[in-house]
Amino acid sequence: MTPALLTALAYAMIVAFMVLIMTKRLSVLTALVVVPIVFAGLAGFGPRLGPMMLDGVKAIAPTGVMLMFAILYFSLMIDAGLFEPVVNRVVKLVGGDPVRICIGTAAVALFVSLDGDGSTTYLITTAAMLPLYQKLGLSRLMLACLVMMAGGVMNILPWGGPTARAAAALKVDAGVLFVPLIPAMAVGAAWVVFVAWRFGLRERARVGGATATAMREIHASAATSEEFERERDIRRPRLFWFNLLLTVALMVALMLGVLPLSILFMIASAVALIVNYPGLEAQRARLAANAGNILAVVAVIFAAGVFTGILSGTKMIEAMAQSVVAAVPPSLGPYLAPITGVLSLPFTFFISNDAFYYGVVPVFAQAASAYGISAAEIGRASLVGQPVHLLSPLVPSTYLLVALCGVELGDHQRFTLKWTVVTSFVLLAVGLLTAAIPLAGRAG
């Protein structure tokens, strides 16, 4: 097959996939499996599809296992009531004011995102804030949007993943990439808080601020409900300090890299289950109660492995990268840094970070060197698309977030896309203003 035809099929596959899930013609799970198989078959790769798909599943397996036990661990902590004091404290601080709740959501997400792991951010932030959104009837799409925007800004931390990949691919120090982007990240964080304020005003106008009396009524009604009685049976208030110390130890071990993430969550889940719910029947009940959430996320993650495996194995990624570079006219060559920044939005949305930073960014860097633009400058520009990247259906943690918030992926994408795009352009604009990303190199 000619490169031109392969490129056309690659773009057609991406468009078909997005249309099918955003119009809800197919579920994300089925689209991730069926769409790439159909297009790869049309491209003549039918006999080789098995190994490609298996390679993709193998590559994503550690992430899938990590998320499975991460969801189990934090679900057990929620069941045991670890986060209830946090929620109660937040309730006292924000009252029933949607503005304060939305700003609090952004602040918590930005703070928790310092560990560089999106899954942890989603789990902790939603555990703390989702009960407030549910009690006051606030939009869960706004919750998912704010958490993802915060994660997107903080995802450019050196230990977050993309910066390390860019540094390795371009053979530059991660600090050289990151430090000049600190002002952009700070402004990006302020932008997230501003959006949270706007969301809060919108929700305040829609649902009104709940009075203290209304909040007491909400708690009173909850305290007499059958659901509350069931929850009280599984709460473990006497083990609060143990669960807190276990969680803190887990977070420290994650940051220090004591063991692989999946192994750490496996061990923590086993300890939490034994201590909080001793006895075979109690443990079975907790596993059964949380199995639905775990399966919904992990199944889609392994399906995403099929998609990325086919995308890489058929060389569609390379074909798309070469087509974009070839489409840049020589007159725009000196502007390859901001062009890379703009193109990082669609590229990191439609392909994985590994494929983008190891397969695409070096191509841009090589082309930009002819115009006096350094590899580090191209690397910084390539990072501004991370807020949009997190919205991609190829990011495993995305499915975790929508599952936790109880929203559909297509609805989440339609609502959040415009905000993440603006966030990326905020990062790019500040990068240009601070010269972390050059507007133009020299003429070729």
What average pLDDT is seen over the chain? 82
Which whole number is the average pLDDT over 6-12?
A: 86
Q: How confident is the model at residue 315 (pLDDT cuts 50, 70, 90)?
A: confident
pLDDT per residue as tens digits for the range 384-402: 999 999 888 878 788 888 8
* Confidence check: pLDDT of 202 > 70: yes
Model pLDDT, residue 232: 67
Model pLDDT, residue 213: 46
Q: What is the SS3 string spanning the chain?
A: CCHHHHHHHHHHHHHHHHHHHHCCCCCHHHHHHHHHHHHHHHCCCHHHHHHHHHHHHHHHHHHHHHHHHHHHHHHHHHHHCCCHHHHHHHHHHHCECHHHHHHHHHHHHHHHHHHCCHHHHHHHHHHHHHHHHHHHCCCHHHHHHHHHHHHHHHCCCCCCCHHHHHHHHHCCCHHHHHHHHHHHHHHHHHHHHHHHHHHHHHHHHHHCCECHHHHHHHHHHHHCCHHHHHHHHHCCHHHHHHHHHHHHHHHHHHHHCCCCHHHHHHHHHHHHHHHHCCCHHHHHHHHHHHHHHHHHHHHHHHHHHHHHHHHHHCCHHHHHHHHHHHHCCHHHHHHHHHHHHHHHHHHHHHCCHHHHHHHHHHHHHHHHHCCCCCHHHHHHHHHCCHHHHCCCCCCHHHHHHHHHHCCCHHHHHHHHHHHHHHHHHHHHHHHHHCCCCCCCCCCC
Which among 21-25, 207-211, 381-385 has the top mean pLDDT?
381-385
pTM of the model: 0.70
Q: How confident is the model at residue 215 (pLDDT cuts 50, 70, 90)?
A: low
Q: How confident is the model at residue 86 (pLDDT cuts 50, 70, 90)?
A: low
What residue ranges do the domains of the chain occupy? 62-154+185-293
* Confidence check: pLDDT of 211 > 50: no
Which whole number is the average pLDDT over 46-57?
A: 88
Model pLDDT, residue 242: 94
* Confidence check: pLDDT of 261 > 80: no
Model pLDDT, residue 13: 86
